[in-house]
A and B are shown apart, each in its own frame.
Chain A
Amino acid sequence: MTLTHETNTEQAMPVETIQEPATKGPVTQERIAKISAAAYRIRHHALNMGEVQGQGYVGQALGAADMLATVYGDQLNFRPEDPHWEARDRFLLSTGHYAIGHYAALAEAGIVPVEELETYGSDDSRLPMSGMSTYTPGMEISGGSLGHGLTIAVGMALGLRYQGSSARVFNFLSDGELDEGSTWEAAMGAHHHQLGNLTAMVDINALQADGKTDTVLRTEPVTEKWESFGWYTQRVDGNDVGALLAAFDNAAAQAAAVGRPSAILCDTKVGRGVPLLEDREKAHFMRIEEHEWQTCREQLTAGYEGKASA
């Protein structure tokens, strides 16, 4: 994989790597076990939040838990006690409805107290159904109107670089969000400005509000699209923690103030980790009966413990 890329920005930029080459070393069983445990807890939190609310985007949270666990548990540079620390890496959730998963990850990261999670979606809660920066510590932007996150991420990456910060910007987006033209405006802009400090992580669950992505608006071939827009593109199984760690390590290794932005395309399964939900007819807004929540938790734990002991 070539790391050099012609620069065609108008302004002169200092060429330097913005952080040390990845020193995390190889993807060890220890790292995988640590992140898998975090992903299990994120899933468990999401089920608990969904039960209080009686509904919610639990399917997406379960599908994206491994991605969230990987960035918060292994990649992001942040201070849980100071969510606005200037030098922090930025994690931007464009898919506001994934907030349930993000809150669980923020709890796992120590930014939001675990006991606060049960307020999810309730009146006066800091954890609204759709993520908003003005409500929640650690929530960088108000997502929800899809196609915004990557445009904001471009500005943040430009602004951090201009101010000499070595912080990186991660934008979590979904494959449904690839329908939005603004995502591709931003993809062009990031390449034009050579934002090597920017990473887009795309949850490809092949599902959107009105049905399967390939029946709503075909986004494939997704990999070729990002590559043709000039991004360093990797596609991985987004529910394989080892593969995720390797991909994020690769992206970190070539992160630079001036360079190619990174796209990590993650194929995930809605409801992942809970067979009852994995097998249910896929729905954007998953209905779970009152008596099923405990079954979900038991299946999740059985699956995790089975894998952990395997």
Chain B
Amino acid sequence: MSTTTEAPDTAAAAAAPAKPKLKTSAMIASFADPGQKTASAPFGHALVKAAQENDKIVGLTADLGKYTDMHIFAKAFPERFFQMGMAEQLLFGAAAGLAETGLVPFASTYSVFAARRAYDFLCLDAAEPNLNVNIVGGLPGLTTGYGPSHQATEDMAIFRGMPNLTIVDPCDSIDIEQAVPQLAASDGPTYLRLLRGSVPTVLDEYDYTFELGKAKVLRGGNDVVFISSGLMTMRALQAAKALAAHNVDVAVVHTPTIKPFDAETVLAEINTDRLAVTLENHSVVGGLFETVASAVVTSGMGKRVVPVALPDQFLDAGALPTLHDRYGLAVDRIVAKVLAELG
């Protein structure tokens, strides 16, 4: 700062209204709450750890290494990392080719590009031959304020129809750390809805371990049962605590594996007099809600299920907290919805 310039008219400056600080739509907005315990790049570190034990693991990305935490792996194992450029069809076709030679590829890009742009390649080259190709998709659901080009609000809806594909929607850093070696060890193709950067650490407070294909009851409760996946399990746990202040006792069942779905555990929890609510960071079409709903209908259980999910529409651009509030993923909105349902 220069000290030689003339001092501004302090009276005039004081009279001007302070310009409000705008909420911005940063691409890599963290959904961690202020002061929340987090872990840095849990996927990248978990992949490095898994690769130290399994020399078949290789990593690829389509010009998004830094934005999918793949750069951690690339730095640790430069000879096992393949940069494929901004070419998602090549990324996943080549991942299938690597798997054909016996390697275990983890290929990262944003979820929108994996699901929308490269579907045919994943379907025919990885899923049909049931290869161990591991898709790592950043910015799943509503985890960026960049609008529909980057918001993968229907990624699970797209991927659920793909035979052989395992779909994992992790809640936090614990889920990711524990899921990565299990994804590598499972034979067929997998899709991980990546949470990257500073990722909240939530599940360490519960008696919990990630098991591929299993839903887990994180807490019991007599009035309401939440069935949740992904970051919405964090919100479900927060909402359960907030609802306790309203004398509403809420159970939370975390189902990080969307496919194959642990219907047995979930149906046992739903088949009670409690209000059943699904919570997901995904469109109300084709995700967790419809997975649960189809399991409920198939079982013959006459039970209403209330969805907390993104609306079936293209979402706005904006700041993530604004959007989570607008579209009902914020804790306050969940609490209000449950109280309204309970009358």
Query: Could you tell me which A residues sit within 8 Å of B by CB distance?
Result: 10-12, 90, 132-134, 140-142, 144-145, 147-148, 150-160, 162-163, 165, 181-182, 185-186, 188-189, 192-193
Known A152-B94, A155-B105; 12 more pairs at CB < 8 Å? A142-B128, A145-B120, A153-B97, A155-B97, A155-B100, A159-B99, A182-B89, A182-B90, A182-B121, A186-B94, A188-B85, A188-B87
A160 to B94, CA, bound (A): 12
A90 to B100, CA, bound (A): 10
Contact yes or no, B79 A151, CB < 8 A: no
Q: With a CB–CB cut-off of 8 A, which chain A residues contact B98? A: 155-156, 158-159
Q: With a CB–CB cut-off of 8 A, which chain A residues contact B99? A: 155, 159
| A108 → chain B closest CB, angstroms | 24
Cβ of B101 within 8 Å of any chain A Cβ, yes or no, is yes
A191 to B103, CA, bound (A): 22
| A163 → chain B closest CB, angstroms | 6
Contact yes or no, B87 A189, CB < 8 A: yes
B residues 83-114 touching A (CB-CB < 8 Å): 83-85, 87, 89-90, 92-103, 105
Q: With a CB–CB cut-off of 8 A, which chain B residues contact A11? A: 78-79, 81-82
Cβ of B125 within 8 Å of any chain A Cβ, yes or no, is yes
Contact yes or no, A159 B100, CB < 8 A: yes
Q: With a CB–CB cut-off of 8 A, which chain A residues contact B125? A: 141-142, 148, 151-152
9 closest residue pairs by CB, A with B: A155-B97, A151-B93, A155-B94, A159-B101, A185-B87, A182-B89, A156-B97, A185-B90, A152-B97
- Scoring A141, A155, A165 by chain B CB atoms within 10 A of each residue's CB, the highest score goes to A155
A132 to B97, CA, bound (A): 15
Cβ of B337 within 8 Å of any chain A Cβ, yes or no, is no
Cβ of B296 within 8 Å of any chain A Cβ, yes or no, is no
Cβ of B161 within 8 Å of any chain A Cβ, yes or no, is no
Given contacts A11-B79, A12-B79, A182-B89, whether A142 and B124 have CB atoms under 8 Å apart is: yes
Contact yes or no, B129 A156, CB < 8 A: no
Q: With a CB–CB cut-off of 8 A, which chain B residues contact A158? A: 82, 94, 97-98
Q: With a CB–CB cut-off of 8 A, which chain A residues contact B82? A: 11, 158, 193
- Scoring B81, B82, B94, B105 by chain A CB atoms within 10 A of each residue's CB, the highest score goes to B94
Q: With a CB–CB cut-off of 8 A, which chain B residues contact A151? A: 89-90, 92-94, 96-97, 121, 125
Instruction: List 19 contacting pairs A-B, 8 Å CB cutoff, sorted by A.
Output: A11-B79, A142-B128, A151-B92, A155-B96, A155-B100, A156-B98, A156-B100, A156-B101, A158-B82, A158-B97, A159-B97, A162-B80, A163-B103, A165-B101, A182-B93, A185-B87, A186-B87, A186-B90, A189-B90
| B119 → chain A closest CB, angstroms | 11
- Could you tell me how many residues of chain B have their Cβ less than 8 Å away from some Cβ of chain A? 31
| B72 → chain A closest CB, angstroms | 16
| A276 → chain B closest CB, angstroms | 36
A270 to B128, CA, bound (A): 31
- Scoring B79, B121, B124 by chain A CB atoms within 10 A of each residue's CB, the highest score goes to B124
Given contacts A134-B128, A141-B125, A188-B85, whether A148 and B93 have CB atoms under 8 Å apart is: yes
Indicate which residue in B79, B81, B96 contacts A152 across the interface (CB closer than 8 Å): B96
Cβ of B47 within 8 Å of any chain A Cβ, yes or no, is no
Given contacts A134-B129, A188-B85, whether A154 and B79 have CB atoms under 8 Å apart is: no
| A87 → chain B closest CB, angstroms | 11
Cβ of B234 within 8 Å of any chain A Cβ, yes or no, is no
Cβ of B58 within 8 Å of any chain A Cβ, yes or no, is yes
| A174 → chain B closest CB, angstroms | 17
Contact yes or no, A147 B100, CB < 8 A: no
Given contacts A140-B100, A155-B100, A159-B100, whether A189 and B79 have CB atoms under 8 Å apart is: no
With both beta carbons as reference points, the residue of chain B lying nearest to A147 in the complex is identified as: B89
| B157 → chain A closest CB, angstroms | 21
Contact yes or no, A162 B93, CB < 8 A: no
Q: With a CB–CB cut-off of 8 A, which chain A residues contact B84? A: 189
A132 to B128, CA, bound (A): 9
| B33 → chain A closest CB, angstroms | 38
A10 to B89, CA, bound (A): 21
Contact yes or no, A181 B93, CB < 8 A: no
Q: With a CB–CB cut-off of 8 A, which chain B residues contact A162? A: 58, 79-80, 103
Indicate which residue in A144, A154, A163 contacts B93 across the interface (CB closer than 8 Å): A154
Contact yes or no, A152 B100, CB < 8 A: yes
| B86 → chain A closest CB, angstroms | 9
A10 to B82, CA, bound (A): 9
Q: With a CB–CB cut-off of 8 A, which chain B residues contact A144? A: 124
A103 to B124, CA, bound (A): 20
A163 to B125, CA, bound (A): 21
Q: With a CB–CB cut-off of 8 A, which chain B residues contact A182? A: 87, 89-90, 93, 121
With both beta carbons as reference points, the residue of chain A lying nearest to B97 in the complex is identified as: A155
Q: With a CB–CB cut-off of 8 A, which chain A residues contact B102? A: 159, 163
A148 to B128, CA, bound (A): 13
